[in-house]
Amino acid sequence: MSAFEVARRDIVAEMHATLGSISPDDVEVLIGIVRSSHRVFFVGVGRVLLALEAVAKRWAHLGIDTVVVGQITEPAITERDVLIVGSGSGESVVPLAIASRAKQHGARVVHIGSNPSGSMSAYSDHFVRIPTQTKLALENEVTSLQPMTSLFEQCLLLLGDAIALMLVRADDIDMHTLWRHHANLE
């Protein structure tokens, strides 16, 4: 077996174990919050932010009004909105500050992370755990052969795509109609 085949097998096995450990009930609650919100804001840093940007884009294709915090056209957050925070540790400084501000404006906050006891729990209305390995060595973590937090970022993206597929199926959306929300200036 080639080095690529071994790496591919290992990565897919890690993602399978991790995604299989996410609570379906927590995901259903998240979907309910998204459906009842006027806008869905996203915040994270580094590679987590990149994964969240991809989720925001895909959900926008479904007709959900999504905003990535920091966009030049970012509107004001209100009590009708939700902020989704991606932070494995729940300790990232910028997402913590943004979550605090969102709460001041009456918005709900959902934390998607690995650490249910992190500082983010003070601001979170709901928590979805992606139980990946952290530097904290928490209980029930899925260990990873990959560098740093790659497994968390990969599973965050796939969780967002799984939710998109769940919404498509629940709403019986004709996939072809989604193209009306796709960028067309490219």
| Dihedral sign from CA coordinates of 8, 150, 146, 116 | negative
In-domain check, residue 185: no
The residue segments making up the domain with residue 162 are 3-179
Would 70 be classed as within a structural domain?
Answer: yes
Q: Active site includes 74?
A: no
Among candidate residues 5, 28, 79, 153, the one labeled active-site is: 153
- For residue 67, the domain's CATH number is 3.40.50.10490
CA distance 58 to 162: 11
Residue 184 in domain: no
Total count of domains within the chain: 1
The residue to which tokens 């769940």 are assigned: 166
What tens-digit pLDDT sequence spans the chain (186 residues)? Answer: 999 999 999 999 999 999 999 999 999 999 999 999 999 999 999 999 999 999 999 999 999 999 999 999 999 999 999 999 999 999 999 999 999 999 999 999 999 999 999 999 999 999 999 999 877 777 788 889 999 899 999 999 999 999 999 999 999 988 888 888 888 888
Tell me the whole-structure pTM to 2 decimals.
0.95
Whether 186 is in a domain gets the answer: no
